[in-house]
Amino acid sequence: MEEAQRRALRRARTRLVAELRVAPLWDPLEERGLFTRPMVEELQSAGSRGEQARQLVIDLETRGKQAFPIFLSILRDTGQGDLADMLIEECEMLPAPLQPVDLRPVELDLHRDKQNKNANFPERLSIPIQAESERPRMPPVPAWGLSVDKRNHDLVYQLKADPCGYCLILNNVNFSRGSDLSTRDGSDVDCKKLEKRFKALRFNVLTRRNLKAEEMVSELQKLARRDHGALDCCIVVILSHGCQTSHIQFPGGIYGTDGKPIPIEKIVNYFNGSNCPSLRGKPKLFFIQACGGEQRDQGFLVDCDSSGDEAPGGSLQSDVTPYWAPEGHADEPDAVASLPTPSDILVSYSTFPGFVSWREVSSGSWYVETLDSVLQQYARSEDLLNMLLRVANAVSAKGKYKQIPGCFNFLRKKFFFACE
């Protein structure tokens, strides 16, 4: 397949995954020799219709020189001529490749200096010279530097869809009286920052405020049941009170506004490969602003010129609540060890398990404020893990009490946000 045809398939992948009717294609693809029966069966086992379409478009690039025109013909035969026309338009929109430069010999006459008859210059040389107007020009370097070239590496997640995926933000501020949980003043500041930031990073942001535990579970399951076949990523942000819980994979729990906790590992496992097939192989990112326990870290002395930022008096709050251990696991099937080990998952915690997480009324939580600032400055040039190191380093230097964010990382590749 020609490079222009490959690039057209990649540019059109989002629409193809969203609209392609794959069921009528299987027999023609086999009959026309593009795929064998075992190959077709493997494509059919990829998951949802969207996942099948996505894998088909990817595999087409490997099926030889005639794969593109044959695929166009099959699309027209199956009543999907609009998609065929779209692919042709994508090909025509791509810039023509640079033509080979014609290096023609140009004769230069070099005359001996009549006053220097011993000079050993040849009478005539034939030297290939390339005219200035014929030289191919190098493309401009992106504004954020050469590191962007690494994004085409095999160990980098590819984010080509627009939007890249869904970002669900669950923001719990006001809690019921019976919960004994305080109002989380400043959380709306966090929420607005993250809404704006992830919209700028090409995510479809969904925000839900003040949900009970059962309502939180419903929203998470609803997102997990969506067809993510045409998308490349999924993000979940939770802003709430937190606690310690019994766990096997991911520590901590999150409170609904009714005071009932949800284990974080239960939340994560709604989106693993078993429960959310359309997100298999795609990065799933979780950002948790909540306490991990009751311990307050006063830090230790180090040799440095600065003692760190002092928190404003009277406005510093924590998202801490007491330890909660479930009586049994019978009603927690998603949290036990029988599930597959998560892959393509990263859970970023605002604080170390067992410790409190600090939040200020006027500026929001230390973690979200720093995360937003780091994303603004470095999302164009650095991968996510490197940026989370910056967040941890900055937050650890703040305040009288100390806090250190961290993450549980099960990503298989580097993750770069898609920036305009």
Structural contact between residues 290 and 319, judged by C-beta atoms closer than 8 angstroms: yes
In the predicted structure, residue 307 carries a pLDDT above the cut 60: no
- Least confident range from 82-91, 131-140, 245-254, 341-350: namely 131-140
pLDDT in tens, 389-409: 999 999 887 766 668 899 999
State residue 327's pLDDT score: 39
Nearest to 112 by CA among 103, 120, 100, 102: 120
Share of the chain above pLDDT 90, in %: 42
- Least confident range from 76-90, 146-160, 186-200: namely 146-160
Residues in contact with 35: Cβ distance below 8 Å, sequence separation at least 6, in sequence order: 29, 43, 59, 63
Nearest to 85 by CA among 97, 95, 73, 96: 73
pLDDT in tens, 34-66: 888 888 888 888 788 888 888 888 888 888 888
pTM for the full predicted model: 0.58
329-348 mean pLDDT: 52
Q: Are strands 203-209 and 165-171 parallel, antiparallel or unpaired?
A: parallel
Domains in the chain, ordered, with CATH?
A: 3-93 (1.10.533.10), 150-299+306-410 (3.40.50.1460)
Q: Are strands 406-410 and 345-349 parallel, antiparallel or unpaired?
A: antiparallel
Helix (H) / strand (E) containing 28:
helix 26-31
Q: Give the confidence band of 317 by pLDDT, cuts at 50, 70, 90.
A: low
> Catalytic amino acids?
241, 291
State residue 89's pLDDT score: 84
Residues in contact with 207: Cβ distance below 8 Å, sequence separation at least 6, in sequence order: 168, 169, 171, 191, 195
Largest distance between two CA atoms of the chain: 109
Nearest to 90 by CA among 14, 18, 7, 21: 7
Nearest to 189 by CA among 319, 403, 365: 365
Q: Would you tell me how many other CB atoms lie within 10 Å of the CB of residue 304?
A: 8
What sign for the dihedral angle of Cα 70, 76, 78, 81? positive
pLDDT in tens, 83-111: 988 888 888 775 555 444 444 444 444 44
- Least confident range from 96-100, 251-255, 340-344, 345-349: namely 96-100
**286 vs 295, higher pLDDT:** 286
Beta bridge partners of 144: none
